[in-house]
Amino acid sequence: MAPNVTLDVTGLVCPGPVIEARKIFNTMSQGQIMKLVSTCPSTRDEVGTWCAATGNVLLDTQETGPGVWAFFIRKG
């Protein structure tokens, strides 16, 4: 799955990663995919909650390194 946009927010504390993702999502078209990279442990829960509330779809979550997570989100 190739993302249309990659947003690296490593080092940013929660809720910063979801806030930054939301800004970019507002410029994306429906069906496009974002890869969100974060080191904040709470991002995992926050992304799921945000997707459920907005109709976006969390396609996959991958641990890409120690404490580094990549979230693949499709704009709904």
Q: Where are the domains of the chain?
A: 5-74
Peptide bond into 15 cis (omega under 30): yes
Q: What are the φ/ψ torsions at residue 68 (nearest 5 degrees)?
A: -115, 125
pLDDT digits (tens, 9 = 90+) for 46-68: 999 999 999 999 999 999 999 99
Of the residues 14, 24, 58, 59, only one is catalytic, namely 14
SS3 33: strand
Question: What's the pLDDT score for residue 16?
Answer: 96
Q: Which helix (H) or strand (E) holds 19?
A: helix 16-25
pLDDT digits (tens, 9 = 90+) for 8-57: 999 999 999 999 999 999 999 999 999 999 999 999 999 999 999 999 99
The listed CATH number (3.40.50.300, 3.10.180.10, 3.30.110.40, 3.40.30.10) that belongs to domain 5-74 = 3.30.110.40
Q: Is 40 a catalytic residue?
A: no
Neighbours of 29 (CB within 10 A): 7
Question: What's the pLDDT score for residue 75?
Answer: 98
What one-letter code names the amino acid at 60? Answer: D
The pTM of the full predicted model, rounded to 2 decimals, is 0.95
